[in-house]
Amino acid sequence: MARRAALIVLDGVGAGAAPDADDYGDGGSNTLAHVAEAVGGAVLPNLEALGLGRAVPMDGVRDDLTPGAAWGTMRPASPGKDSTTGHWELAGLHLDRPFPTYPDGFPAEVVARFQDATGRAVLGNVAGSGTAMIDRYAEEHLATGAWIVYTSADSVFQVAAHEAVVPVEELYAACRAAREILAPPHSVSRVIARPFAGTRGAWRRTANRRDFSLDPLGETLLDALQSAGIDRTGVGKVDDLFAGRGISSHHTADNAEGIARIAEWIGTGRGNPGVSHSGFLFANLVDFDQLYGHRNDVAGFYGALRQFDLALPDLLAGLRDGDLLAITADHGNDPTTASTDHARECVPLLVAGRGVRPVDLGVRATFSDLGATVAEWFGVAFRGRGTSFLQEIMA
């Protein structure tokens, strides 16, 4: 039977401050442990059964069970703490230097070129939370048609527009133009289209978000699998993070849809029992980060963890001989801290499958160890910047 592997990224679900977290202003961050503490003890029985409590000490999650998976954590090796950096590192690619950030807004010449290219003026050009930017500038945007441009602590150029004022395709075209403009030395990791709808006091961002990333700066796991003729399927924003190179993706409105897509790929999807796909699945569940971490919504974050935990038995039941399932994250986003930005954290590592031994994988030196393991699982020579732990987990 042909081998398959599924890598599920719980976006922003960090496992404790990285050794250099203080350099990023993130000392003491621990997304999972702090959420568990804030809710008086997390109830996550299925993640607990896989070994989450062994990997990350958490209130309410037992660490004295014999796990049903291999467990550990992984340290970030690339500089930065954004989704592109984290996903590239998972796929074996490290950065030499962090992507540029703009805490005081983008240079005047960048904004001028964007206005000239799109034929619309710019509002904002400041750093801040996306929902706050919409609250602040939406009415002026409706009156003038000007773009709402903003950034954050991450390397992003974000463009918001009301769908009744600017057609979504025009917004996407503007973001593509920005992607061309933002060349070195202003090569931000992502240009993000942020369409919204609604009226004063009830603005809401729609599901038509799109990310326009830089092309990966070297070979990735996805390139290697493509060269080997192994099918690759994305769920969520994964294709955007790799600029569409080596993977296409089913974009999803929320975690519920993402989980349903993962279940369908494995072969346990509701309404499609027993039908499964082949190759490699790379999935991103973004609600932890986008809806809850960036808004310091502890209850929402915990609710998303509970939702995923409840879905796990169905996903695990669909695994067959020759399947590998890995659960991890790309960075932290601790909703209990004063910051609403990403956190420089280690990430959890849980690896399950019928032939996987429940062993302690320790603290891996880089996220790339997981990509190297997936490559070896498929018999591909690529290891990127990682070291495979496949032989440690195979019975």
Successive 10-residue mean pLDDT values, the chain, 395 residues: 93 98 96 98 98 98 96 97 96 95 96 98 94 95 98 93 98 98 95 96 92 94 98 96 96 96 85 66 97 96 98 96 97 96 97 96 98 98 98 92
* pLDDT score, position 273: 47
Q: Assign domain 4-95+217-393 one CATH number from 3.40.50.720, 3.40.720.10, 3.40.50.300, 3.40.50.1970.
A: 3.40.720.10
Structure tokens at 158: 């974000």
CA 376 to chain centre: 23
Residue 12: other Cβ atoms inside 10 A? 31
* pLDDT score, position 1: 63
CATH architecture of the domain 108-213 equals: 2-Layer Sandwich (3.30)
* pLDDT score, position 281: 98
Cis peptide before 45 (omega within 30 of 0): no
Distance spanning both ends of the chain, measured CA to CA: 18
For residue 53, which phi and psi values (nearest 5 degrees)? -65, -25
pTM for the structure as a whole: 0.91
* pLDDT score, position 271: 47
Predicted confidence (pLDDT) per residue in 224-281, tens digit: 999 999 999 999 999 999 999 999 999 999 999 999 999 999 997 554 544 558 899 9
Confirm whether 4-95+217-393 and 108-213 share one CATH topology: no
For residue 361, which phi and psi values (nearest 5 degrees)? -90, -5
42 close to 48: Cβ distance less than 8 angstroms: no
Which residues have CB under 8 Å from 169's CB, separation 6+? none
* pLDDT score, position 249: 95
Alpha-carbon torsion, ordered 167, 171, 172, 178, to 10 deg: 160
What is the Cα–Cα distance from 262 to 293, expressed in whole angstroms?
23
Q: Using N-to-C axis directions, what is the helix angle for 168-181 and 108-118, rounded to 10°?
A: 140
User: In the chain, what are the domain boundaries?
Assistant: 4-95+217-393, 108-213
* pLDDT score, position 154: 85
